[in-house]
């Protein structure tokens, strides 16, 4: 175990030297929320006792045999008609004591106008990306699970195509007595197989830590997630932080970022309240400081960086909805529905 830990930390150090964010890596659609529940809790959900097979893309070690046979569909509506989605299913192999899942994640960019160099309309084209995923988790100790995801990625933008391979490695610790869960994930470690042009780009590698705590006398679980731990500096020279009002000779205003600001850009704070004896209703709220700082406008109050959602269990189905305030100009809506095929087939086809 010591050798494995040393190797893992060494790989993390190497990746941290070359980590890139904000448009400098390929296949960044992998960073979009995989489920409505994750979106409602800030975008990443790695330290939750999994109630949805889609959480396997956040941390493959979260899923247990309780999700055997679960089927989940998730769909997100973004601005400008862009849509992303997920479909996945879980299967437990008792002989190997392995919980597995298979899924597809996609993004549809819609239809674009194609023009020549003079702006004349010559036709239309479309853009899309997808990731095919296979993953598994294994109960190593009573309170510790390990898991991994293997992804094949394909991107098509007009006549340009690219493909790649990615690997996720995760660990999940759960103490049911204290209500504490903790997790660590190495996400999107991989390579671009075929580039859009002659230059290959890096994948959006990310190291994440998370902890959650269920309160003893209140049906509430608090989440704290830290992301991009492989890259300390998340600040950048943002021209949008300079504004000139053009009236009365005012000088441009500039909002200076600080190291304290940079520190909290790595954090997401969230909470989930359950209602009903059978936890029929779940209310979720979160704050993502990085999104708040990058998507806010100077001198204009907004709820950028905040997200909220609700989950409802109705008989054999689980419905989830989230709303993420991405910018002053609009929000993102995420819908999810999950069920278990065993409700309808028993041991059946699974």
DSSP string, 331-344: EEEEEEEEEETHHH
Instruction: Say yes or no: domain 2-345 is CATH 2.40.160.40.
Output: yes
pLDDT greater than 50 at residue 248: no
- For residue 5, how far is the Cα from the chain centroid? 25
Mean pLDDT of 58-76: 94
pLDDT, residue 9, reads 39
CB distance 234 to 262 below 8 Å = yes
Q: Is 265 helix (H, G, I), strand (E, B) or coil?
A: coil
Mean pLDDT of 155-180: 94
Spans of all domains in the chain: 2-345
This prediction has a pTM of 0.84
- Residue 139 CB burial class (10 angstroms; 0-12, 13-18, ≥19): middle
Mean pLDDT of 249-278: 79
Name the residue among 249, 243, 295, 231 with its Cα closest to residue 20.
231
CB distance 295 to 284 below 8 Å = no
Integer Cα distance of 322 and 285 in angstroms: 9
Name the residue among 197, 175, 121, 187 with its Cα closest to residue 150.
187
pLDDT over 90 percentage in the chain? 62
DSSP-derived secondary structure letter, 8: H
DSSP-derived secondary structure letter, 172: E
pLDDT greater than 70 at residue 18: no
pLDDT greater than 60 at residue 2: no
DSSP-derived secondary structure letter, 216: S
pLDDT greater than 70 at residue 254: no
pLDDT greater than 90 at residue 44: yes
pLDDT, residue 235, reads 84
Mean pLDDT of 150-160: 93
pLDDT greater than 50 at residue 53: yes
Name the residue among 269, 206, 211, 192 with its Cα closest to residue 31.
206
Average pLDDT over the chain, rounded to an integer? 86
- Model confidence at 256, in pLDDT bands (50, 70, 90)? low
Model confidence pLDDT, tens digit, residues 269-298: 999 999 988 889 999 999 999 999 888 777
Q: Which two tokens stand for residue 209?
A: 């830590």
CB distance 50 to 61 below 8 Å = no
């Amino acid at each position: 175990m010591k050798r494995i830990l040393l190797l893992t930390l060494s790989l993390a150090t190497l990746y941290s030297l070359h980590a890139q964010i904000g448009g400098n890596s390929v296949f960044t659609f992998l960073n979009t929320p995989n489920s409505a529940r994750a979106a409602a809790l800030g975008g990443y959900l790695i330290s939750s006792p999994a109630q949805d097979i889609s959480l396997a893309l956040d941390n493959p070690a979260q899923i247990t045999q309780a999700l055997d046979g679960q089927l989940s569909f998730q769909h997100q509506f973004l601005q400008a008609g862009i849509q992303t989605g997920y479909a996945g299913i879980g299967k437990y192999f008792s002989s190997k004591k392995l919980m597995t899942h298979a899924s597809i994640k996609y993004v549809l960019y819609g239809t674009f106008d194609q023009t020549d160099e003079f702006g004349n309309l010559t036709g239309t084209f479309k853009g899309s990306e997808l990731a095919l995923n296979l993953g598994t988790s294994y109960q190593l100790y009573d309170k510790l699970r390990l898991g991994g995801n293997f992804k094949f990625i394909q991107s098509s933008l007009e006549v340009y195509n690219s493909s790649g391979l990615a690997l996720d490695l995760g660990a999940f610790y759960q103490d049911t007595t204290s209500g504490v869960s903790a997790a660590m994930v190495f996400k999107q470690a991989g390579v671009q197989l075929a580039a859009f042009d002659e230059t290959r780009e890096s994948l959006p590698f990310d190291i994440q830590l998370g902890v959650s705590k269920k309160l003893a006398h209140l049906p509430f679980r608090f989440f704290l997630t830290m992301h991009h731990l492989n890259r300390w500096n998340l600040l950048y020279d943002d021209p949008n932080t300079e504004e000139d009002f053009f009236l009365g000779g005012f000088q441009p205003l500039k909002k200076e970022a600080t190291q304290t600001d940079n520190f909290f850009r790595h954090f997401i704070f969230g909470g989930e309240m359950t209602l009903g004896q059978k936890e029929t209703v779940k209310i979720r709220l979160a704050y993502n400081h990085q999104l708040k700082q990058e998507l806010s406008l100077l001198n204009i109050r907004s709820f950028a960086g905040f997200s909220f959602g609700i989950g409802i269990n109705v008989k054999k189905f689980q419905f989830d909805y989230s709303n993420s305030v991405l910018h002053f100009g609009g929000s993102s809506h995420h819908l999810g529905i999950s069920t278990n095929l065993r409700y309808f087939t028993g041991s059946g086809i699974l």
